[in-house]
Chain A
Amino acid sequence: MIKQELKNIDELRILREPVEGEMLVNMGPQHPSTHGVLNFLLVTDGEVMHRAVPHIGYLHRGIEKLAEQTEYAGFMPFTDRIDYLAAMAANQAYAMAVEKLAGYVVPERAEFLRVIACELNRIASHLVATGSMAMDIGAVTPFIHWIREREYINEITEELCGSRLTYNYCRIGGVSHDLPATLAGKILLWLDHFEPIIDEFDRLITHNEIFVHRLADVCAISAQNATGYGLVGPNLRASGVDWDLRRDKPYSVYDRFDFNIVLGKGFRGAVGDSYDRFVVRVLEMRESCKILRQALVALPAGEIRSKVPRVIKPPVGETYAAVEAPRGELGYYVVSDGVSSKPYRVKIRTGSFTAMSIIESLSKGVMIADLVAIIGSLDVVAPEVDR
């Protein structure tokens, strides 16, 4: 009977019977390179894949439902859990949405601190993304080197806000802690150390011929497809679409910094292939270092939090606020009914969700080893997919 049930579920999942010569393989939920709890049902002919059907929802915690039952300020810690690798961006986007809805002004120093924290977080997230991608291709050493660098960032954020992973740093109307006096120097010291380390990483893995051949020309996404499938962030830019919210819809104080938008140019193969997505992330880390240096120099004095009532009751209305998170546009669509101190509806738009949806169409005719490269290069984080 169990077999019968399983058969039904399989049919339901792949919508058709496997034909002669096809083989069904379950990749996940416990597989080393699915980056979280995910399941891919692979329809393969030997090593060559005909189809990879993603089956998500293992980490669906109903954060959108939880938001409707939590007060505006109380929802902030939940946003950390959307994307555990880039909690700061999720914090900031939510704070921006509520501030926009209720009309609060954020002090300038708080905006700078948010930018500093977010860019540090972006570097930390890209470290994990590029490192774990190298590990998926079989090189373990770069990942451990990046984890070492990430450890310094974790120490910095611990000093900044007391937390290493789920920061809960942004408050509605500001940030929770001021920058400690010695920390700016510490960040600058680390940046001086980190930029040569990127060169070392490039020598170790980015320009490694085996690595390049594994990724170049693998699953190139055209600009049209990338836009149509709603890819955002580095994945979109790797396909050559010139779009970055930090520049094109400037939020916070990003319009005051001088930085480049990195685009995929087909560094070693077609535009938008897996190697482009990798290189774009590596180059973005350098740009983040630039922003950090400028922000630390320009950091103004002043308050870190504006006066915000204890119970937040925004007027009737709705708003959409988005930031350029490490995994692309992370936006909150918040609806307020004007009477309650709880949001009426919160919809969270994440980058990994749409990145995940393109995998099925990319996976036709590639090999199993390539699927691993695609998942790694799209930088999919399971809790962000499921929310």
Chain B
Amino acid sequence: MWKLTQEFIHKFIPAFEHAWLAYIAGALVAALALLAFASLFAGLASYVERRIAGRIMSRVGPNRVGPQGLFQFVADGLKLVMKEDLVPAGADPILFRIAPYFVFAGMFGTFVVLPFGAHLVAADLDVGIFYLMAITSFVVLGIMLGGWSSNSKWSLFGGLRSAAQIISYEIPAGIALLSVAIFAGTLSTQGIINAQGGLPWDWFAFHSPFSLVAFVIYFIAALAEGNRTPFDLPEAESELVAGYCTEYSGFRFVVFFFAEWANLWIMSAISVLCFLGGWKIPFVNAPEAYSGWLWILLGFVIFSVKTLALVTVVMQLRWTLPRFRLDQMMNLCWKYLIPGAFAALLGTMTVMALFSWDSPAGIAIRFCTFLVGALVVLYYIWRIVANYRADSANYKKLTGQSMWYPPWRLP
């Protein structure tokens, strides 16, 4: 993306004739654009999550600020920013103050390699996936620092739980992504997307049953790395009060939560770009086709729709599932996910060696795996509809009111 901004700057501001100045300016503009996107997404995601939680729990959710409560996140953010920034007595003042920025840096650094469309990426690094795995480790550093420096035992528990959890789950996540890197033959995020096709059976998730397993394992591990239910142990409200952010208030608290919600986009976007075809438009496979703005925009829309669908699933999981216990969480990782990830890696390698991508057997395997995935999604939708029907009939009998509201006229 900075290439585009660089050209733009060269064209309109002649003062930036020095390459390094233009480089810095381009990087700054790209960073600002990404920051704007991340904060807008985090804010809107917090609003949408609360509305979805409201619907799931048969209550209303925020609906007072702005149309349908859309500006609730602005009000919340303002309120938190205006609050006193407390540093508890006995806390390590420097570490306590900088801890949230480690979390923020770890989260925001990933946006550098996250693609949004055909040419929409801040920097298409050769080591994209590797960079992603490395930079997300920053988050655990921040959380641990925050937990330790708060001088609160509950925070300490939260920080240590988080360290154990995130470091453990990076292993299955990394191995699952390794199989993707083997398919694509590159670590670059754009390269991985380019190696996939637009149609579902050309996605890496459906390359073979093993890669489907790898996708599921990556998704679970990403949930754990993002501290989302059922892996929200570091901030388990009913056990640790609020975990590592117990003692934080005001702006620093906002930073923690900003990172958490922006992380929703990150984990879903990585899943989409590695396993679900990224921004590829169906039937348009040649990389040269993505040159016009219209194509890029269409690719961006497709990418966003896939990502937002995953984000919705993550939100739904959060409001449906209970939480693991610490030892169960570790068991799941070390006894099931890591061996599973290795098996999936070996399996995909075998399938790759035996059946090439375009051979009839390879296509047949991909198509069958896709059918399995499609059936799972259909079953999921059918359960939602069936449950909804049963409950709305029951509700109508008791209250005489309908449970259905059109989405634009929700209470």
* A–B proximity contact (CB within 8 A): yes
Known contacts A138-B232, A190-B398, A196-B390; is A145 also within 8 Å of B241 by CB?
Answer: no
Cross-chain contact A138 with B229 (CB below 8 angstroms)? yes
- The number of residues on chain B lying at the interface, defined by a beta carbon within 8 Å of a beta carbon of chain A, is 37
Q: Is the CB of B58 within 8 A of A144?
A: yes
Residues 33 to 69 of chain B near chain A (Cβ within 8 Å): 53, 56-59
Question: Chain B nearest CB: distance from A94 CB in Å?
Answer: 34
Give, as a whole number of angstroms, the nearest-CB distance from B52 to chain A.
11
Q: In the bound complex, do residue A145 and residue B58 qualify as a contact, i.e. CB atoms below 8 Å apart?
A: yes
- Partner pick for B319 among A141, A193, A369, A370, CB 8 A cutoff: A141
CA distance A370 to B326 in the complex (A): 10
Residues of B within 8 A of A139 (CB): 320-323
Residues from chain B with Cβ under 8 Å of A152 in the complex: 398
A369 touches B241 (CB 8 A): no
A382 to B327, CA, bound (A): 30
Question: B233: which A residues are within 8 A, CB to CB?
Answer: 369
Closest Cβ neighbor of B56 among chain A residues: A141
Q: Which residues of A contact B58 (CB under 8 A)?
A: 144-145, 148
- Assess whether A144 is in contact with B57, with CB atoms less than 8 Å apart: yes
A189 contacts the other chain (CB 8 A): yes
**Inter-subunit contact B238/A214 (CB<8 Å):** no
Q: B126 CB to closest chain A CB, in angstroms?
A: 40
Inter-subunit contact B328/A189 (CB<8 Å): no
Complex contact A138–B56 (CB within 8 A): no
CB < 8 Å neighbour of A138 from B59, B161, B238: B238
What is the bound-complex CA distance between A196 and B393, given in angstroms? 11
Contact B238 A135 (CB under 8 A): yes
CA of A136 to CA of B323, assembled, Å: 9
B323 touches A138 (CB 8 A): yes
What residues of chain B lie closer than 8 Å to A47, measured between beta carbons? Answer: 157, 161, 326
Near B by CB (< 8 A), chain A positions 129-150 give: 134-141, 144-145, 148
Query: Is B357's beta carbon under 8 Å from chain A?
Result: no
Q: List chain A residues, Cβ under 8 A from B322.
A: 134, 137-139, 205, 208, 210-211, 214
Q: Kindly provide the distance from the CB of B139 to the nearest chain A CB, expressed in whole angstroms.
A: 21
With A144-B58, A208-B322, A372-B239 as contacts: A214 and B328 at CB distance below 8 Å: yes
Of all chain A residues, the one with the shortest Cβ separation from B231 is A138
Q: Which residue of B has the minimal Cβ distance to A197? A: B394
| B237 with A214: CB separation less than 8 A | no
CB pair B321 A369 closer than 8 Å = no
Name the one of A32, A189, A190, A210 contacting B324, with C-beta atoms under 8 angstroms.
Answer: A210
Interface assignment of B153: CB less than 8 Å from any CB of chain A: yes
CB distance from A271 to the nearest CB of B (A): 21
Task: Tell me the count of chain A residues lying within 8 A, CB to CB, of chain B.
Answer: 38
Which residues in chain B, 159-180, are within 8 Å of chain A measured between CB atoms? 160-161
Among B161, B239, B321, B327, the most chain A Cβ lie within 10 Å of the Cβ of B239
**Chain B residues with CB under 8 A of A210:** 230, 321-324
Residue A31, interface by CB 8 Å: yes
Residue A253 at the B interface, CB < 8 A?
A: no
Chain A residues 186 to 245 lying within 8 A of chain B, measured CB to CB, are 189-190, 192-193, 196-197, 200, 204-205, 208, 210-211, 213-214
Tell me which residues across on chain A come within 8 A of B232, comparing CB atoms: 138
How many Å lie between the Cα of A23 and that of B154 in the bound state?
12
* B335 CB–A CB distance under 8 Å: no
Chain A residue numbers with a CB within 8 Å of B57 are 140-141, 144-145
Q: How far is the CA of A148 from the CA of B327 in the complex (A)?
A: 34
Residues of A within 8 A of B321 (CB): 138-139, 208, 210
Instruction: Check B320 against A196 for contact (C-beta < 8 Å).
Output: no
B236 at the interface (CB under 8 A from A): yes
Closest chain B residue to A144, Cβ basis: B57
Q: Evaluate contact between A32 and B237: CB separation under 8 angstroms.
A: yes
Chain A positions 5-22 with a Cβ under 8 Å from a chain B Cβ: none
- In the complex, 27 of the A-B residue pairs with CB atoms within 8 angstroms, ordered by the A residue number, are A31-B241, A33-B239, A46-B160, A136-B238, A138-B232, A138-B236, A138-B321, A139-B322, A139-B323, A140-B53, A141-B56, A148-B58, A152-B398, A193-B395, A200-B387, A200-B390, A214-B322, A214-B325, A367-B326, A367-B327, A368-B157, A368-B239, A368-B240, A369-B233, A369-B325, A369-B326, A370-B325
B residues neighboring A (CB under 8 Å): 53, 56-59, 153-154, 157, 160-161, 229-230, 232-233, 236-241, 319-328, 387, 390-391, 394-395, 397-398
Q: A138-B232, A208-B322 are in contact. List 11 more A-B contacts (CB 8 A).
A: A32-B237, A33-B238, A138-B323, A139-B320, A139-B322, A141-B320, A145-B58, A189-B398, A200-B387, A214-B322, A368-B239
